[in-house]
Amino acid sequence: MGDALPKTQINFLRGWPNPSLLPASAIEKAAKQALSDPQVSTPALLYGPDPGYQPLRESIAEWLSGFYAPATQRSHEVSADPERICITGGASQNLACILQVYTDPVVTRVWMVAPSYFLACRIFDDAGLVTRAVDEGEDGIDLEGLERILEQDRSTRVVPKVCSFFLRVVAKRTSYGGVGSQPTVGHVIWA
């Protein structure tokens, strides 16, 4: 018993990766390469297009198409459209942008699967939105329960280009609840 190693606590609160996984040398090499070519560095250091750098969006679309196509088991080709991909500084920034453009605190009702990423709650708060929890069981989100809630809240007035209902969920493999085995896809529900 005296030879047992002391247990160390792992803090998952921030959601940061282990520092050994950070590709500092690869980023340094890529930055030197990009900054040494004025045809790349000049546009890279200026304001870019709103949805992000087009060649990057095209590369991401190509990767997504290849990654998800085999898993679909469908006979038709799966292709991601680069025009539907937006490059941001991260999921939190993208969520804040979506809320800023498509929601209104008076109109929009928000539900989140609980437990959820704590910073997402703050982003909804900053947008003036009140969040409500949606139950999640072994097989994922309780869609029947959510449907009942939505039917009760149909009195919400509809405003053009404003999301009346917003549901935030995360993939099961990254879920803070850790339940279920199939991935859940995020949805925006429009009324």
Each residue's pLDDT tens digit in the chain (191 positions)?
556 777 777 666 666 777 888 899 999 999 999 999 999 899 888 887 788 888 899 999 988 888 776 654 554 566 788 998 888 888 888 889 889 888 888 888 888 887 777 788 899 999 999 888 887 777 778 788 788 877 777 655 666 667 777 777 665 444 444 444 344 444 444 44
Distance CA 152, CA 159 (A): 19
Q: Locate 122 and state its tokens.
A: 């703050």
Read off the pTM. 0.59
- Where are the CATH 3.40.640.10 domain residues in the chain? 89-189
Q: How far is CA 69 from CA 56, 176, 185, 189, in A?
A: 20, 27, 16, 25
List, in order, residues 6 or more apart from 42 with CB less than 8 Å away.
Answer: none
Topology of 89-189 in CATH?
Answer: Aspartate Aminotransferase; domain 2 (3.40.640)
List, in order, residues 6 or more apart from 173 with CB less than 8 Å away.
Answer: 183
List, in order, residues 6 or more apart from 157 with CB less than 8 Å away.
Answer: 107
